[in-house]
Amino acid sequence: MEQFKGKSIFHKIAIGKIFYYEKNQFTVKRSKIDNFEQEMERFENAKKIALEQLQGLYEKALKEVGEANAAIFEVHMMMVEDDDYNDSICNIMKEQQLNAEYAVATTGDNFAQMFAQMDDDYMKARAADVKDISERLIAVLSGTSADMGKMAEPVILVAEDLAPSETVQMDKSKLLGFITKLGSSNSHTAILAKTMSIPAIIGVEIQKDWNGKLCIIDGYNGLITIEPEDDYLKEMTEKMEEEERQKQLLKELKGKETVTIDGKTIHLYANIGGVGDTASALQNGAEGIGLFRSEFLYLEQDHYPTEEEQFQAYKTVAENMAGKKVIIRTLDIGADKQVDYFNMDKEENPAMGYRAIRICLDRIDIFKTQLRALLRASAFGNISIMFPMIISVHEVLRIKEILQEVKMELKGQGFVYKEVEIGIMIETPASVFLSDELAKEVDFFSIGTNDLTQYTLAIDRQNPKLDSIYDAHHPAVLRSIQMVVDNGHKNGIWVGICGELGADTSLTETFLRMGIDELSVSPSFVLEVRKTVRDLDLSHS
Amino acid sequence: MKQFHFTVQDELGIHARPAGLLAKEAKLYKSKITITKNDRTVEATKLMMIMSLGVKKGEEVVVSVEGEDEEKAFEAMETFFKENL
């Protein structure tokens, strides 16, 4: 497995065999002629044929890649007929008594050089056009064909450089991507790649022996991989399939409402684990952030994140989401997520141990720092705060007390904040049973199905031996969800799901019938869930 | 002889395609039509020469027309520049 970097033209993945394309290397012979008229006639004939070919290419391009891309062949035709170009060729033949091929080659080089020396990137790129028409003329004169070899299966095309006349002749259905050594973002190859929506990487030190080898183009990172290892191939294949699915869904669903056929609307939010994920949440059409895991701030560092560091992160997400809801969950470490500088004791049973809100209510200083940062960020968007691992009403009352203290402090120090909604995660059986009382104290519930399943079924989800009986569809889990929804609604608060089960489209209908108000899923699942919701009709049972 | 000044509005300047169309248009008239940028003058019938001026957006050129049909040619050139550049 070998990897190379280049400049990416189109963000997409392609996987396929390499077809190494080499131009016919015209070695143009310089020879004396006796009869200028005869040579002139030969040139005029070649010109006629070249123009016919170009007209054919223009029509083909017009059909396949549209007017804007076809226009270049019109320009080529005009170039072939350009007075100066023709005068120069004619002169060399006449004055120096040299053959047409040589005259064309020399003239082509001179004009190409003129463009290459201009101080304008667009004009510089036109040198390729002059070379292209000259090569075409020489090919006709010398009876060789400038046509591109036929490709039997879809390939990734590797070439030093590609002229528009070469790219247009290719069978587009057989093209997965381009890799070239030369070319610029202004080149026809680049424009064509964009028009065709296929990845292209330029500026790569290409090698002839790549021909026929398997290759992956990662257009997101400008990376090409020759003879990829199995693991990487599998990973990229999955990514590519995912990409394809998303593309289809995006076409259909971006910007559409998450509403069933019979008119029931549900909020569809995204789970994110860092500031950088906001872009993917928005790209995939999430209506908000249903779970922002704040742990990353603690896990990525070797010290307690400061109020300022946290404030900046929360503020950025709130601003990027531009008024859409952003639900941030307070620190949820412990169990499978350990942080060295917290210096926590080793536990026999960490899943049931010192974690999440239990740490926060024990080490109030850490908790208060986070709450201060969250409240300060609330002024910049639509933030809600959510607390994990709740087992009692007492905990919620204590949290609200601390929150009130923090607000008073901030007010005293002249900071602005908004009145944020607060909610709790429902992920322990205790919180399920107490959901009627808890609902009176908070603005929303969000059900964390992963932990709820683990605690309800008493199955350690880290233990691979238990995988076969760890069943999130277990009736006990589903009944718990129903109970939470009912208790929430009785008390006028909304209830959502932010665990992995939220993205399980085999349960979407069940959740909607239960009365779930919100689903928060990984960004890449948003559109799939939306599609499922939009295909549902709850009026029939 | 008739002349007009023109500031190019097209994002790419006088790029290949309009240069080609301009050359075609200019060939329709008997008058000698030239384009001047700074102190370089080229004939409007010559595509590669027009391109070699490298006229960019916001730059000014002077178009000159001289010959028996200069009224018609002048009008046609003015229209062409306004519509294409």
> Which tokens sit at A50?
């070249």
Q: From chain B, pick out residues whose CB is under 8 angstroms from the CB of A111.
A: 48
* HSE value, Cβ hemisphere, 13 Å, CA-based, for A20: 13
DSSP state of A503: G
Whether pLDDT at A391 is above 90 = yes
Query: What is the separation of C-alpha A274 from the centre of its chain, rounded to a whole number of angstroms?
Result: 16
- B11, with CB counted inside 10 A (0-12, 13-18, 19+), is exposed
Extents of the domains making up chain A? 25-141, 252-534
A75, A85, A111: which to substitute to probe chain B, counting the most B Cβ within 10 Å? A75
Q: Which domain holds residue B40?
A: 2-84
> What whole-number percentage of chain A has pLDDT above 70?
94
A331 contacts A385 by C-beta, under 8 angstroms: no
Band of pLDDT at residue A164, cut at 50, 70 and 90: low
A71-85, A141-155, A284-298, A489-503: which range is least confident on average? A141-155
> Which tokens sit at A92?
């060399």
CATH number of the domain encompassing residue B31? 3.30.1340.10
Q: Could you tell me which residue, A97 or A251, shows the higher pLDDT?
A: A97
DSSP state of A124: H
Task: Kindly report the length of chain A.
Answer: 541
- pLDDT tens column, A308-359: 999 999 999 999 998 999 999 999 987 667 777 888 888 888 888 899 999 9
Has the ipTM of the complex gone over 0.90? no
CB contact under 8 A, B54 and A82: no
Whether pLDDT at A148 is above 90 = no
Whether pLDDT at A155 is above 80 = yes
A199 contacts A193 by C-beta, under 8 angstroms: yes
Residues contacting B28, CB < 8 A, separation 6+: B76
A183 contacts A167 by C-beta, under 8 angstroms: no
Whether pLDDT at A234 is above 90 = yes
CB contact under 8 A, A129 and B46: no
**Measuring CA to CA, how many Å separate B63 from each of A113, A257, B7, B20, B54?**
27, 56, 11, 16, 15
Q: What angle do CA A78, A83, A88 make, to 5 degrees?
A: 120
Whether residue B1 lies within 8 A of chain A, CB to CB, comes out as no
What mean pLDDT is predicted for residues A173-191? 78
- Residue A429 CA to residue A448 CA, distance in Å, equals 11
- Quote the pLDDT of residue A193: 76
- Quote the pLDDT of residue A26: 57
- Quote the pLDDT of residue A452: 95
Residues contacting A423, CB < 8 A, separation 6+: A327, A384, A385, A386, A387, A442, A443, A444, A445, A446, A493
Band of pLDDT at residue A501, cut at 50, 70 and 90: very high
- pLDDT tens column, A2-48: 899 988 888 889 999 998 887 765 567 888 888 889 999 999 999 99
Give just the sign of the alpha carbon dihedral A478, A479, A480, A485: positive
Q: Could you tell me which residue, A460 or B73, shows the higher pLDDT?
A: B73
A15 contacts A240 by C-beta, under 8 angstroms: yes
Whether pLDDT at A196 is above 60 = yes
**Measuring CA to CA, how many Å separate A81 from each of A4, A44, A48, A50, B15?**
42, 10, 10, 11, 17
Band of pLDDT at residue A195, cut at 50, 70 and 90: low
Whether pLDDT at A147 is above 70 = no
Mean pLDDT, all residues of chain A: 88
Minimal Cα–Cα distance from A84 to chain B, Å?
Answer: 7
B3 contacts B40 by C-beta, under 8 angstroms: no
- DSSP H/E element including A297: helix A295-299
Q: Could you tell me which residue, A488 or A540, shows the higher pLDDT?
A: A488
Whether pLDDT at A177 is above 80 = yes
Count of pairs with CB atoms under 8 A, one residue in A, one in B: 47
**Measuring CA to CA, how many Å separate A435 from each of A129, A401, A422?**
72, 20, 15
User: Superfamily for A252-534?
Assistant: Phosphoenolpyruvate-binding domains (3.20.20.60)
As assigned by CATH, the class of the A25-141 domain is mainly alpha
- Quote the pLDDT of residue A336: 67
Q: What SS3 class is residue B76?
A: helix
Residue A498 falls in the annotated catalytic set: yes
Whether residue B46 lies within 8 A of chain A, CB to CB, comes out as yes
Q: From chain A, pick out residues whose CB is under 8 angstroms from the CB of B48.
A: 79, 82, 84-85, 111, 114, 130
- Quote the pLDDT of residue A262: 93
Band of pLDDT at residue A135, cut at 50, 70 and 90: confident
CB contact under 8 A, B20 and A129: no
A328 contacts A294 by C-beta, under 8 angstroms: yes
- Quote the pLDDT of residue B18: 87
Band of pLDDT at residue A169, cut at 50, 70 and 90: low
Whether residue A118 lies within 8 A of chain B, CB to CB, comes out as yes
What mean pLDDT is predicted for residues A278-290? 89
- Residue A99 CA to residue A36 CA, distance in Å, equals 9
Chain B: residue whose CA lies nearest to A77: B20
Band of pLDDT at residue A151, cut at 50, 70 and 90: low
- pLDDT tens column, A354-376: 999 999 999 999 999 999 999 99
Number of domains in chain B: 1
Nearest residue to A270 (alpha-carbon basis) of A325, A311, A316: A325
Whether pLDDT at A149 is above 60 = no
> Which tokens sit at A105?
């080659």
Band of pLDDT at residue A411, cut at 50, 70 and 90: very high
What mean pLDDT is predicted for residues A47-62? 89
